[in-house]
A and B are shown apart, each in its own frame.
Chain A
């Protein structure tokens, strides 16, 4: 009952909840990571049936779809890049405003500068 697609839909909306309801920057970055993983899981499990084999070593029959796998390699590397950029932005903001809270950081920014 709980196949890859259903799991990925549930995981994706857990990530959406984390972004909307939480005000912690690190938790936002983690939520973005969860959403990425959900999308990767969804696209890998689309068009998959039980008993299919990996598309390697010259097999031509009964192999799983190679196109989403090739695209998801790209998506994983892009996910690493997004997480790294997000964390470095977070470190910068933390050095500047000394808080991990979005609203506090926005308030301090309106007040003008480092406190």
Chain B
């Protein structure tokens, strides 16, 4: 009875909503035009000093062939810490929100197999693994890096899920691996002081940090994917 009352109230609001949307749209259009006008007349921001310093010095300072890797692993490594921490907190939050066990059975998922998809993904997933590890290991020399490689590697579990949707996954162990990797990242990057004084150590430092970050991002994205994929089933061991 209450629901019908609510829907009646919302229907009455609909007429008001049309007018409200037009008002909001015109208001935002005005603000957009003001901002475009300001952009046209003020122009973009110059960051010439920092840009020219990075351009000149990044190879000498960090031994990285990739300026982006040089920044996020050497000049601004604290950004990387807190970004990895934020991803871990996000994973913890998702685990907390999905804690409530549902009574849904996953037997109907088992019948969703698709043979063509299965054959294609069985062929593709070793290539995905190799490509992800290549992106991670050569992140300091060519385009790529830990974050991108980790995101590519997360596609492995997604393709495994598509091939075999009824399988049971132990997500808790992935979570523990992620925590361990975060601790390793924080403790290993304290060696940055060492890396800045010994030239031989610099490229090794970059590769190991990229590796740790890549696998941490891989674990985090895989856990997020599994929690969304199995939201209505009881296939996750940790539930």
Interface residues of A (CB under 8 A from B): 5-6, 9-10, 13, 16-17, 20-21, 23, 46-47, 54-58, 60-61, 63, 65-67, 69-71, 73-74, 76-78, 80-82, 84-85, 87-89, 91-92, 95, 101, 103-104, 107-108, 111, 115
Contacts and interface: CB of A to CB of B under 8 A. Distances in A.
Given A74-B80, A88-B228, 13 more contacts: A9-B32, A13-B29, A47-B46, A55-B55, A55-B67, A55-B68, A66-B71, A67-B54, A69-B68, A73-B148, A80-B224, A81-B87, A91-B231
B24 A81 contact: no
Given A13-B31, A67-B54, A77-B147, A46 B68 contact: no
A57 B64 CA distance: 9
A94 to B, nearest CB: 11
Given A6-B36, A13-B28, A47 B47 contact: yes
16 contacts: A9-B32, A20-B24, A21-B24, A47-B44, A47-B46, A55-B55, A55-B58, A56-B143, A58-B65, A60-B55, A63-B55, A65-B47, A65-B54, A84-B90, A85-B93, A103-B13
B39 A9 contact: yes
A115 B2 contact: yes
B60 to A, nearest CB: 10
A72 to B, nearest CB: 9
A71 B143 CA distance: 15
B15 interface: no
Contact of A47 (B13, B45, B89, B143): B45
A5 B39 contact: yes
Contacts of B32: 9-10, 13
Nearest to B70: A66
B239 to A, nearest CB: 14
